[in-house]
Amino acid sequence: MSKELTLATLLSPWQDISSDKIANIAVQHLELDSRKVVAGNTFVAVKGHAVDGRRFIPSAIELGANAVIADACEQHPAGTIENVSNIPVIYVADLGQHLSVLARRLYPLSNHKVIGVTGTNGKTTITQLIAQWLDLVGQKTAVMGTTGNGFLDDLKPAANTTGSAIEIQHTLHCLEQQSARFTALEVSSHGLVQGRVKALEFEVGVFSNLSRDHLDYHGTMEEYAEAKFTLFSEHKCHHAVINVDDEVGANWVERLDHAIAVSLKPTQHQKAVWAKNVSYSEQGISLSFDGTFGAGQLHVPLIGEFNASNVMLALTTLLTLGIDKQRLIETASSLKPVLGRMELFTAPKKAKVVVDYAHTPDALEKALNALRVHCEGQLWAIFGCGGDRDKGKRPMMADIGERLADRVILTDDNPRSESPAEIVQDMLVGMQQPELSVVEHNRFEALQFALSNSQADDIILLAGKGHEDYQVMATETIHYSDRESAIQLLEQGA
């Protein structure tokens, strides 16, 4: 449980209410969502990017909030205390920027190491490899990110890759209470820009790569890159583990004195871990490594070159934490593929189906290149592009599919409020011979078509949704899973 603070103690960094009659109100739990308030909670009313939480102060009070901490404004300047239905509303300047510190004061961590992983692709795989590996060497570890929060055998769904500042701190506090020694946390660019991890202390920060994504939010690749870089430049981050095979990462290592460079080839960086003799098969990846922590060899049952990079980043992170190298080598073969990340599904005499979360141009390119090495027949690509998101990547992804796959099926991937047909039209513009692609908006039927028209030595990449079990339409969110589709269609012989 969180420690109970008085309202005066909790708010003391920003304003002094110690002499006020409300000073001794007990704060047990902070809640940002007025709908989730229960009796005794303290409601935090922030002016957000899309919604102004102050609009919901009356409903939070009605549900039993014992106090409200609200964003100050012209009408209610900082320091104002208003009485609403006998419940105090305390106005604090720039409240949104203070949420992380506010939450840390109520939900402290005492002996818990946080590992932050940022980058466009690979965050989920790297965090889960770190957690699996630490568990294998006897260190209880949790994850927080895209596929959920908690321990790997009991993940609770997460609404966003990086939750709210209060949610993050509260979750970490609860995980520590459940004996977690470490938590591997996916850190999104949105989470960094919006100060959601501002008060966290990172034992290690990890950078995977940077490619086009979220430009609808950041505007330019430069702004997107700088948002990611703040994990290392503006946060408490004791160690930095950076992929220097990525151009952005190679630049960052020069800007960070304490960084350890990670590469799939020998590198001259002063502090570095690199791979050599990397080999790929359907059984996984075998490699030798050398560098700052010495040499070794290991085998992991994962597919593809980018997973070799993910493994090297996870390995370097754990070596940086002081985990015994020999124990890591011995347990590497027990690591498991991550749910919906280059996940292989097979059935006798049928094409192999690989389900992957790739939904950016770079991720799709890496997934197809990785599978080409394993493919003896034709390589199929089934993918779409999300609605209400960066339209610029649509023709780029279609171009990549056309160049790197033998057969392309364009389908839906969370069309949201946009017309699925118009999204596909935006994609077709990027193709030299659009008439050779197949358009099938229903993902299940797209896979059914591919399995019915493929040979046993073909590989079908079903990209974009990975672990997700839903499809977001204009007016509803329906249940749909690529993984379930693959299992069902392979079992029934398509």
Token pair belonging to 454: 């493929």
Q: Is 123 annotated as a binding residue?
A: yes
Q: Is 82 annotated as a binding residue?
A: no
CA distance 93 to 91: 7
Q: Is 414 annotated as a binding residue?
A: yes
By DSSP bridging, strand 201-207 and strand 113-118 are parallel
Q: Is 389 annotated as a binding residue?
A: yes
Q: Is 203 helix (H, G, I), strand (E, B) or coil?
A: strand
Q: Is 121 annotated as a binding residue?
A: yes
Q: Is 34 annotated as a binding residue?
A: yes
Quote the distance between the C-alpha of residue 450 and its chain's center: 30
Q: Residue 309's closest CA among 206, 396, 202?
A: 206
CA dihedral 425→431→437→441, nearest 10 degrees, is: -30
Q: What phi, psi does 58 have (nearest 5°)?
A: -60, -40
Q: Is 403 annotated as a binding residue?
A: no
Q: Is 203 annotated as a binding residue?
A: no
Q: Is 157 annotated as a binding residue?
A: no
CA distance 335 to 181: 19
Spatial neighbors of 74 by CB under 8 A, at least 6 apart, are none
Q: Is 219 annotated as a binding residue?
A: no
CA distance 33 to 35: 5
Q: Is 413 annotated as a binding residue?
A: yes
Q: Is 194 annotated as a binding residue?
A: yes
Q: Is 42 annotated as a binding residue?
A: no
CA torsion through residues 324, 329, 331, 335, sign: positive
Q: Is 415 annotated as a binding residue?
A: yes
Residue corresponding to tokens 């990397």: 278
DSSP-derived secondary structure for 415-432: -TTS-HHHHHHHHHTT-S
By DSSP bridging, strand 236-243 and strand 259-263 are parallel
Known binding residues are: 32, 34, 119-125, 160-162, 188, 194, 196, 389, 413-416, 464, 468
Binding-site residue set for ATP: 119-125
Binding residues for meso-2,6-diaminopimelate: 389, 413-416, 464, 468
